[in-house]
Chains A and B, each alone.
Chain A
């Protein structure tokens, strides 16, 4: 197929939305964002869980580290120009857009195209699908205004996954291959483990804690996610376990729905979320003891 430049354009525009707190009217109109003031942008892309692969793919849920080294090494090995933020949402969208533009430019050069397609496939499976669909689906659930934005990205990558035949590979990305789950780590990280989606398989963000906190009558205190978790557990541990169960269940359903389009990476997220639900429900006392 052709039209890669249009898919790239969509990714660049989506990167712009995640990168620019003061969008112009044309861009807001294209994505049906309506009024999207800079403080809303800040809520989603700055104060909410940081949209960065390293947060989603490391046990400690921290920026940088091995996840960053892995992708920087990948870029370097392929001679891809390093972006400022190689593991961040914006950097990855722009990088992938560049790849698609290169594909478009090299459609008439089969040997070059073959190399690009290998790069594209690897990039998509190893660095995009491992975290981005879950993040996007999650954002969509909390910020419906951004549905067109998240769906546009999801559709580009679903199209790419299909085009490249990734599903047929039936291959689990290396970043998720030996992924620990909540059962594996036990009480190693205490309650802070819920800030690490890599382990739990579901995402706990500030907005989620605020939103569900109201429902379960646990008052959120502003701070880091770990601080919020800690203070909310101190208020009502039992309610928090229910809150987390609901969050995990809700998200597991979302991951499950995405499996048809993205395959094993989403399955991995679904499985870990499922284990987390079981662990929360069956191991309440152990978790509470850990707190």
Chain B
């Protein structure tokens, strides 16, 4: 029998008391191995002095003592929490593990997080500012001081600003750091020079979202979904795969069904309940067939649609029916999508009718608990790819699964961008090199067209920054980039801000070393569940010193060599551009405590943490510490959970003074916009003719917040698309891809080139030896039936020929790819022109050219080498794949501006003399393709309904003042801007 009767209850009382007392002191009573989430995390109150046995001393039991300092991963875009284990004896980082307090990643990391250690310790990394000596690309460098580099660059920028050449300063952003930081720097200079990578990344996916909701990303509440629908390989890669994948897995454990569209048998596909491998580009046709099923069987959420779709605008503008009844719209809806039968979708996609019917029924059964997601994937591959995300959201909108538990949210409601101390005004001058007039509806800058726009003679660049970006390698048409960056008349000064060597940096004038995840400050927030959080990236050794009470004023003091962080770099550079304050720039960088000196990052973040993050000061006060110390100590803070349907919020009375309701039920008010703490970007609908701002929408006699769209509702019908030249695409629809079978020659196949490998991230992770060992090559996936037809097996080499050239690659014959489609992964084929530089994943090549014919020839494979790291002698791989992007011409979607990555290619056996990794490109042909795609656009000068070059309400990084939106005139030039902005 049980010997101690009553023990459970009496002990429970004591434990309960002890727990209450312990938690009142801010301690973690049930520390567990990871506070319940993972199996091995130390409780936060022990982070100051954490003891572990030294694995290298085994079997001796030698204790190591660590200080655990949080930061945020800087590899992919997920911004997962990391904990740096700083050896208290040597004051060096010994390892990185997950931060269990991070609300998004919850202590979990993929391989790239811990591999930050490799990047920090990389023997080939760039440690000092370098200046080019000799010709561009020649490979001769001299170490210079930061002062010398900064003064020279500042002088150029100062002159450009003073001479009103602000459009000659451009910063090309790769891995995003802190939301809006670089935009605000450029805005403070008055420069419309932000050039994101987004149009080679996610513009297609964003556009479909933006036209519907006024917000440009999805945030699915996976954990509570009944059905999860991914058009992507989202369990293994992408925005924001690690935090999302763990929640998808939770939902699956609760019985949710997972549907995955992926032409490859990806890791994600292997976890799906339904894996569909549709013909690339046919995804929207499938989505519409599911929509048709839902509509024709009346399975949609009638009340949600009636309240929140802009159906009356559609009936008025398209059907010409004023005061239409909802029933009329329902009839029109049936008619609109009737052609998209399962049979039609099956013919387009190659997926059989019964499977389509089965998933349609499953999706309909989810009702308001459908979590859907696409980001890059098909939306980034195809002409009209933006309609794939638009039709995907159509399914959510039909089911009312918008911002519901288990549904899909607009991202801005699950994200928090705290207001900083200064928000400089918008720049006054439009940058034609980033936002050409042919693309009035582009979601982001046409950054990947820069070499062609320069060659068109649309301008030149005085200073061109790349910031953790590698355009030569990452963008399509890399040889056009080599040509542009080699031409000092087009790009006068090229400054590469990079932690590591890359293909573009070789053509730079200055290479300025930037820190990795544990060597820089940023404040991050991403939509990863139905809640909002911020996470602090910080130089961990500096943070440790600060937590120990030491005063640190410059991150370089604790970083290796002279590696810096961007925040301090931009502050310093801005100060040097305007040292006296006469240009109006310096005021944004002065210390709030002493205007004679620069603002420190401590002051910058103290302002944000003290003033702009609800709840943080109170939480920190409970521990008797300042908010900055709280963030330095714990690294992240959750602001809210269960955000809900913000569009249903009542408009506060304070915003309704003298308000009016338009004929389409839009509510306008002359009240000034409240200054919010969260400045997350979203659409900004135009004011009415009297200048009153839209504050909401009238729904069933209630004045509600609505969506940031022109109508205030979900825009099933996009008046923006209709009025700006694309009325035929104003509704969610199907655009046949440029690689649609009808467009392919008989010997052509579709090449999918965009998929990532779970352990690498673009070119940035190449200096991670652990990751390189796992993944270092990119064979061409080809189905056995195609291999047989072409007479290819795994021992061959093949030539893959595109519109502008070819590359030579090893085939991988596998049933994991759809017949008629080949695939070659991202990340690989890294190269360098000189022997120095990154040596673990970059082979040495020669780059020969004759006229516009470029030939990249592998010279030396990757091989073991001696360095301060003994592991470099253990490199066993030599094959690092092929740089396929060089052979892709630009394919800018004429509406979204997204580069359409999929390629029509021919596959042949390699010819005599062909070498694996070899690439040939004719950049004259790439010019021809560029011109062909430009011809597909509808120029704002031809279609603008109001004299502007772009709808003002659309999101745009670094949006200029209204005046700068005026169309250029005459057609074909970029000057002679009218002095007055036409009235809206």
Contact = CB atoms under 8 A, between A and B. Distances in A.
Contact of B2 (A7, A72, A148, A154): A154
A20 B7 contact: no
Nearest to A159: B8
A82 B253 contact: yes
B11 interface: yes
B33 A19 contact: yes
A8 interface: yes
A6 interface: yes
Contact of B8 (A15, A152, A257, A260): A152
B6 A155 contact: yes
Interface in A139-166: 148, 151-156, 158-159
B1 A13 contact: no
A261 B12 contact: no
B5 interface: yes
A16 B32 contact: yes
A26 B25 CA distance: 14
Interface in A14-45: 15-16, 19-22, 24, 26, 30-31
Nearest to A136: B2
Nearest to A83: B36
Nearest to B5: A155
Contacts, number: 90
Contacts of A31: 11
B836 interface: no
Interface in B4-31: 4-9, 11-16, 18-19, 22, 30-31
B3 interface: yes
Nearest to B17: A9
Given A3-B12, A10-B11, A82-B253, A151 B4 contact: yes
Contacts of B15: 6, 9-10, 12-13, 30
Given A16-B32, A19-B33, A20-B31, A152 B11 contact: yes
A20 B33 CA distance: 5
A257 B1 contact: yes
Interface residues of B, number: 28
A86 to B, nearest CB: 9
Nearest to A149: B11
Nearest to A6: B12
Nearest to B13: A6
A5 interface: yes
B18 A30 contact: yes
Contacts of A30: 11, 14-15, 18
A9 B13 CA distance: 8
A260 B253 CA distance: 38
A76 interface: yes
B12 A8 contact: yes
Interface string B68-84: 00000000000000000
A280 interface: no
Contacts of B9: 3, 6-7, 10, 155, 159
Contacts of A260: 1
Contacts of A156: 8, 12
Given A26-B18, A26-B22, A258-B2, A9 B31 contact: no
B22 A155 contact: no
Contact of B32 (A9, A20, A72, A152): A20
B254 interface: yes
B255 interface: yes
A3 B11 CA distance: 12
B7 A148 contact: yes
Given A258-B2, A261-B1, A155 B32 contact: no
Contacts of A261: 1-2
B31 A24 contact: yes
A21 B6 CA distance: 27
A10 B8 contact: yes
Contacts of A13: 11-12, 15, 30
A260 B33 CA distance: 36
A19 B3 CA distance: 25
B8 A155 contact: yes
Contacts of B8: 6-7, 10, 152-153, 155-156, 159
A76 B30 contact: no
Contacts of A22: 31, 42
Interface string A187-204: 000000000000000000
B255 A76 contact: yes
Contacts of B13: 6, 9
Nearest to B50: A22
Contacts of B7: 148, 151-152, 155
B12 A7 contact: yes
A251 to B, nearest CB: 16
Interface string A62-83: 0000000000100010000110
Nearest to B21: A26
A19 B16 contact: no
A129 B250 CA distance: 28
A7 B661 CA distance: 59
B1 A76 contact: no
A257 B3 CA distance: 10
A261 B32 CA distance: 30
A19 B36 CA distance: 9
A94 to B, nearest CB: 8
A95 B772 CA distance: 42
A9 B29 CA distance: 11
Contacts of A152: 4, 7-8, 11
Most chain B CB atoms below 10 A, which of A76, A152, A156, A257: A152
Given A8-B12, A30-B11, A30-B18, A151 B2 contact: yes
B12 A16 contact: no
Contacts of A26: 18, 22
Given A155-B2, A258-B1, A16 B18 contact: no
A24 B30 CA distance: 10
B30 A16 contact: yes
Given A16-B32, A76-B255, A9 B5 contact: no
Nearest to A31: B11
Contacts of A148: 4, 7, 11
B221 to A, nearest CB: 16
A14 to B, nearest CB: 9
Nearest to A79: B254
A3 B254 CA distance: 30
A10 B30 CA distance: 12
Nearest to B27: A24
A6 B18 contact: no
Nearest to A12: B30
A158 B33 CA distance: 28
B3 A151 contact: yes
Contacts of B30: 12-13, 15-16
A9 B19 contact: yes
A5 B16 CA distance: 8
A81 B2 CA distance: 30
Nearest to A16: B30
Contacts of B254: 76, 81-82
B32 A19 contact: yes
Contacts of A72: 253
Nearest to B31: A20
A22 B32 CA distance: 9
A21 B33 contact: yes
A261 B18 CA distance: 29
Contacts of B31: 16, 20, 22, 24
A72 B14 CA distance: 33
20 contacts: A5-B12, A7-B8, A8-B12, A9-B13, A9-B16, A9-B19, A10-B12, A10-B15, A19-B32, A20-B31, A20-B32, A22-B42, A30-B11, A30-B18, A151-B7, A155-B8, A156-B12, A159-B8, A159-B9, A260-B1
5 smallest beta-carbon distances between A and B, as pairs: A6-B12, A156-B8, A10-B12, A155-B8, A9-B12
Given A6-B12, A9-B13, A155-B9, 14 more contacts: A6-B13, A6-B16, A8-B12, A10-B9, A12-B30, A81-B254, A82-B254, A94-B36, A152-B4, A152-B8, A152-B11, A155-B2, A155-B4, A155-B8
